[in-house]
Amino acid sequence: MEELLEEIARSLVEKPEEVSVRRIEDDEGVVYELRVAPDEVGKVIGRQGRIARAIRTVVRASGARRGERMRLEIVEE
């Protein structure tokens, strides 16, 4: 999942070398932290949050298939 998220984010931004994904497990499930450059956050979120919503849908669907709760957080680096 980390590789997929990195690939999606890198295709959206102009500074792909600054994209990173970190997996964190907590009591609620798995959280993926997607880090991008501060000036690139808007590109990953998209207009009215459409791109972020689509990426989160992919993450949740993957978690549902595995029987886990997965979430995505987009963080400025």
Domains of the chain: 2-76 (3.30.300.20)
Which helix (H) or strand (E) element contains residue 34? strand 29-36
The answer to whether the beta carbons of residues 38 and 76 sit under 8 Å apart is yes
Whole-number Cα distances in Å, 33 to 10, 19, 26? 14, 10, 13
User: How do residues 17-36 score in pLDDT, each as one tens digit?
Assistant: 999 999 999 999 999 999 99
Return the pLDDT at 42.
96
User: How do residues 40-70 score in pLDDT, each as one tens digit?
Assistant: 999 999 999 999 999 999 999 999 999 999 9
| Helical packing angle, 2-12 and 50-66, nearest 10° | 170
Query: What is the model's pTM?
Result: 0.90
User: For residues 19, 44, 77 and 7, what is the CA-based torsion angle, rounded to 10 degrees?
Assistant: -10
